[in-house]
Amino acid sequence: MTTLAIYSNKGGVGKTATAVNLSYLAAQTGAKTLLCDLDPQSSATYYFRVKPKLRSGVKGLIKGGKKAYRSVKGTDYENLDLLPADFSLRNLDVIFNKLKRSKKRLKEILDPFKDEYDYIILDCPVTISILAENIFNAVDYTLVPLIPTTLSVRTYRQLLSFCKKIDYDIGRIFAFFSMVDQRKKMHKELMIATSKSFNHVLKSFIPYLAQIEKMGIHREPVPVFSPKSIASKAYENLWDKVKKNILSADRYM
Amino acid sequence: MQNPVKFNLPSESDLERFIGELGDQYAIKKEPNKTETIRIYDTFDWRLFNKSLVLYECGDNLCLLKLPKSEMIHSVKITSPPVFIWEFPDSRLKEQLTLIIGVRALLKLVEVQSRSRSYCLLNEEGKTVVRLAYEEIRSSRKKDAPTIAAHLCLRPVKGYPKHSQKITHRFEGAGLTISKEDDTYFKGLEAVGKKPGSYSTKINIQLDPDMRSDDATKVILRFLLQIIRINEANIEKELDTEFVHDFRVAIRRTRSALGQIKCVFPSKTTDRFKKNFSFVGRLSNELRDLDVYLLKEDTYKAKLPPVLSDDINPLFDYLLEKRSKAFQKVVRGLKSKQYAKILKDWEAFLDEPQQDSSTASNAELPVIDLASKRIYKKYRSVVKAGNLILENTDDKMLHVLRIHCKKLRYLMEFFSSLFPRKKINILIDQLKKLQDNLGDFNDLCVQEEYLLNIAKELPVTQGQLKKTLVAIGGLVGTLGRERQVVKDAFAKTFTDFASPANNDLFQELFISQAQQGVL
């Protein structure tokens, strides 16, 4: 069982599209997969046509166990389940703060799911507070989508120094380029420079493509409504790199 | 995984009507029709069926079901159907089956055709909340092929239980009944004339306590002959190593029955067949030894430090080459006139009426008496030999004790139907533990000696040889240490077996009848 967070401390970088498409591709290999939508905006939940509602809201989730389990919904795709988002997740930070073992609560919520699933993928909201620490403590690896812009790279640097500060093993954080506009010279140059200055940048990127935006219209993962598209191939390639470079140390590949 | 509910549908023509009526509450999306071949697998000795499991391949999925309800336990994607457990993709399915399948090959039992028409019921968000499928399984692709099963199958979607409950009620209200048991597996096998569980090496006979001992012995021997014949016919196909193994065990049991169920046949006959079966057993000695070493390749490599694990490869290459020759020798042996004559004579003997003889003094004795006497006597020899070892542990005596135990075990298994099942099984289990300890010790002794001797034969260059010898030396060293651990565990294992409680049970089961008889 492997847990992977799709995380960024910057918004609009393609986290949800990545989480939705990678979990779909993971499930397609026959691995039992759970996508957890932790973002109160509930976009991943929307893409799967599920109502953004947790049993007893965020409190039910915090209780974990059967309560949390009952909120899980089967998606329209084999082997892929979804733990939907809920608007009350916006309070997750505040609630974690008030509890004992405040930085390990998310791990405790997810632990019971680990027996049933081969992969658990988290679609995370933008955060660098206690929720972020909960995420890092709960997962085996973190995957950060990175737009090849100065600000995005700067935020990534901030993330790495934050992790060092909280003594988190940055060897478990990986990045890949997202929303890449190949016509832009700056994007190309930044990609080369960033790959050189950081370890753990995957050699696979997701271009900026209309097909990906169309997920909102189709409410389906890209490989479902446009299996032969460049976008679909890009996610397949990314999943391949994730498996080889990140997950290969684990079982059930 | 959500388990489907299967409804008996009177005819496929009713399907559209049932589905159509749901249109008042759901949008209905028709999925493409699917025709798939389903192949069901098990080992020759029904290891999966014996655990109520069904393994089948459908498309690029390998699925494991639990009988009788056919609940799906695991599924995994495959590129080609695996034959041995080590060919399975790493998965929970593999984990579950590893100990069950062991070294046996999976054989295709039957191939059936599945045809399905599927529909998704969508809620107002366009999300599938229930799946419905008309599923029909036929024995072949031909249009007139008999239908093995036909159901309207409702597959709930996790997190939407209310919808599946509602539709179940509607179907039941419309007169459809839920099919409680799924007998597709049994019907599929029946269509090709296969009976699940029909082969087992376990002595599965029912003896009558008052039977003459010679008649009862022939019942046991006929059962063993059947196992010999079944396996002999399959050895040549080289599907896995266990046909030879089962064949050998049946031969060994036959020899043991001839030797241990004393004075039931004329002594000349017994002696002749003992000699004959000893010859038949020897035919496959070398092959079985080689199989054991080759099956242990991974275990042996794991015992070596990683730097040496490849250096031992020349040994296994050599053993594999030897195996191929040994296998041909066995095949030739089984086709020989001598073998055919031995088995023909044996069959004739088992079928002929019993003959009076002064040397068959136990022939007329009720079998319960002879069985009790022989088992108890053998039990006493085990205890006696074990106690001597406790005083002075000697490797040779451990070997002698192992043979005593084996004979006792066979006797108890031959005659188990004569005694209370639970009680005799307790004693057999206790005996098994002692046998495991003695068996491990013996295997380790034999392996050490074999490996040291084989080293002299290895056809490798001088440079390679040194490395291989170092690896073999490392392995022998590890085996030696393991042997000592096993030996140290003997005293406790034996004391457990010879405990007062077990002794009482042996007396309770075997001595009272024996006293009434010949003791």
pLDDT digits (tens, 9 = 90+) for B72-117: 898 888 999 999 999 999 888 999 999 999 999 999 999 999 999 9
In order along chain A (253 residues), what is the average pLDDT of each group of 10 residues? Answer: 94 96 94 95 97 92 87 95 96 90 91 91 94 94 95 94 92 95 92 91 94 96 96 97 81 37
Tens of pLDDT, residue by residue over B217-261, are 999 999 999 999 999 999 999 999 999 999 999 999 999 999 999
Question: In angstroms, how far is the first alpha carbon of chain B from the final one?
Answer: 61
Q: Give the tokens for residue B2.
A: 């959500």
Is A51 at the interface with chain B, CB within 8 A? Answer: yes
For residues B67 and B469, give the distance between their C-alpha atoms in angstroms, rounded to a whole number.
Answer: 51
Burial of A13 from C-beta contacts in 10 A (0-12 / 13-18 / 19+): buried
Backbone angles phi, psi at B322, to 5 degrees: -60, -35
A49 in contact with B, Cβ within 8 Å: yes
Q: Which position has the token pair 């022998």?
A: B476
Is there a contact between B516 and B368 (Cβ–Cβ < 8 Å)? no
B124 in reach of chain A (CB within 8 A): no
Strand pairing category for A141-146 and A2-6 = parallel
Q: Does A59 lie at the interface with B, CB-CB under 8 angstroms?
A: no
Contact between chains at B160 and A74 (C-beta distance less than 8 A)? yes
For residues B455-477, give the mean pLDDT. Answer: 85
For chain A, say whether B96 makes contact (Cβ under 8 Å): no
Taking CA atoms, B248 is separated from A185, B230, B268, B431, B465, in Å, by 75, 12, 24, 21, 34
Contact present, A146 and A238 (Cβ < 8 Å): no
What's the confidence (pLDDT) of residue B388? Answer: 92
- A224 in contact with B, Cβ within 8 Å: no
Say how many CB pairs under 8 Å bridge A and B.
39
- When CB atoms are compared, the residue of B76, B125, B157 closest to A74 is B157
A27 close to B (CB below 8 A): no
Interval B179-203 mean pLDDT: 88
**Residue B2, by phi and psi: left (phi above 0), alpha (psi -120 to 50) or beta?**
beta
Q: State which residue of chain A sits closest to B90, comparing Cα positions.
A: A252
Residue A251 pLDDT = 39
Domain B5-191 carries which CATH code? 2.40.320.10
pLDDT-derived band at B515 (thresholds 50, 70, 90) equals: low
Q: Where are the beta strands (DSSP E) in A63-140?
A: 73-74, 80-83, 119-123
CA distance to partner chain B, nearest, from residue A240 (Å) = 16
To test the contact with chain A by mutation, choose from B64, B79, B91 the residue with the greatest count of A C-beta atoms within 10 A, namely B91
Residue B54 has phi, psi (to 5 degrees) of -125, 125
Domains of chain B by residue range: 5-191, 213-516
Q: What residues in A contact B92, CB-CB < 8 Å? A: 118, 252
Helix (H) or strand (E) holding B62: strand B61-66
Q: Which position has the token pair 């056809």?
A: B459
Handedness of CA B19, B25, B31, B35 (dihedral sign): negative
CB spacing of A71 vs B159 below 8 angstroms: yes
| A76 with B159: Cβ contact below 8 A | no
Residue of A nearest to B93 (CA): A252
Minimal Cβ distance to A49: which of B90, B92, B126: B126
pLDDT tens digits for B278-290?
A: 999 999 999 999 9
Is the CB of B73 inside 8 Å of chain A's CB atoms?
no
Q: What ipTM was reported for this prediction?
A: 0.90
Q: Which of B77, B92, B119, B164 to mutate to test the interface with A (most CBs of A within 10 A)?
A: B92
Q: Please say if the pLDDT value at position B2 is more than 80.
A: no
Q: Which residue ranges make up each domain of chain A?
A: 2-249
Q: What tokens does B419 get?
A: 């005694």
Of B77, B90, B127, nearest to A76 by CB-CB distance is: B127
Question: Which CATH code is given to the segment(s) B213-516?
Answer: 1.40.20.10
Fold held by A2-249: Rossmann fold (3.40.50)
Question: Which residues of chain B are within 8 Å of residue A219 when distances are taken between CB atoms?
Answer: 126
Interchain pair A30, B77: CB under 8 A: yes
- CA dist., res. A210 & res. A228, Å (int): 14
B64 vs B392, more confident: B64
| Helix B500-516 with B421-454: angle, nearest 10 deg | 110
Taking alpha carbons only, the member of B116, B112, B92 closest to residue B34 is: B116
Asked if A252 lies within 8 A of B90 by C-beta distance, the reply is: yes
User: Long-range pairs for A88-94 at CB < 8 Å and ≥24 separation?
Assistant: A88/A40, A88/A54, A88/A57, A88/A58, A88/A59, A89/A38, A89/A39, A89/A40, A89/A54, A89/A58, A89/A61, A89/A125, A90/A40, A91/A58, A92/A38, A92/A58, A92/A131, A93/A127, A93/A129, A93/A130, A93/A131
Task: Provide, rounded to the nearest whole percent, the portion of chain B with pLDDT above 70.
Answer: 98
Q: Which residues of A touch B2 (CB under 8 A)?
A: 74
Kindly write down the DSSP assignment for every residue of B137-206, as one continuous string: EESSSSTTPPEEEEEEEEEEPTT-HHHHHHHHHHHHHTT-EE--S--HHHHHHHHTT--TT----S----
CA-nearest of B289, B312, B317 to B301 is B312
- B28 close contact with A: CB closer than 8 A: no
Q: What's the pLDDT at B407?
A: 96
Q: Does A73 touch chain B (CB under 8 A)?
A: yes
**pLDDT, chain A, mean:** 93
Tokens standing for residue A134: 């909960």
Residue showing tokens 């451990």? B398
Rounded to a whole number of angstroms, the distance from the CA of B2 to the nearest CA of chain A is 9
Query: Phi then psi for B258, rounded to 5 degrees?
Result: -65, -35
Handedness of CA B435, B441, B445, B448 (dihedral sign): positive
Q: Could you tell me if residue A213 is left (phi over 0), alpha (psi between -120 and 50 degrees) or otherwise beta?
A: alpha
Strand partners, B121: B28, B130
Q: What is the pLDDT of residues B17-66, one digit of tens each?
A: 888 889 999 999 999 999 999 999 999 999 999 999 999 999 889 999 99
Could you say which of B2, B90, B127 has the minimum Cβ distance to residue A251?
B90
Q: Is the pLDDT of residue B445 over 90?
A: yes
pLDDT above 70 (res B207): yes
Pairing of strands A141-146, A173-180: parallel
Backbone angles phi, psi at B404, to 5 degrees: -55, -45
Predicted confidence at residue B494, as pLDDT, reads 96
Q: What is the pLDDT of residue B514?
A: 47
pLDDT tens, B112-144? 999 999 999 999 999 999 999 999 899 888 878
The Cα–Cα gap between B26 and B18 comes to 13
Taking CA atoms, what residue in A is nearest to B121? A76
Which conformational region is residue A200 in: left (phi greater than 0), alpha (psi within -120 to 50 degrees), or beta? left
CB contact under 8 A, B159 and A72: yes
Check: CB of residue A26 under 8 Å from CB of residue A239: yes
Interface of B with A in 279-308 (CB under 8 A): none
* Contact state of A49 with B125 under an 8 Å Cβ cutoff: yes
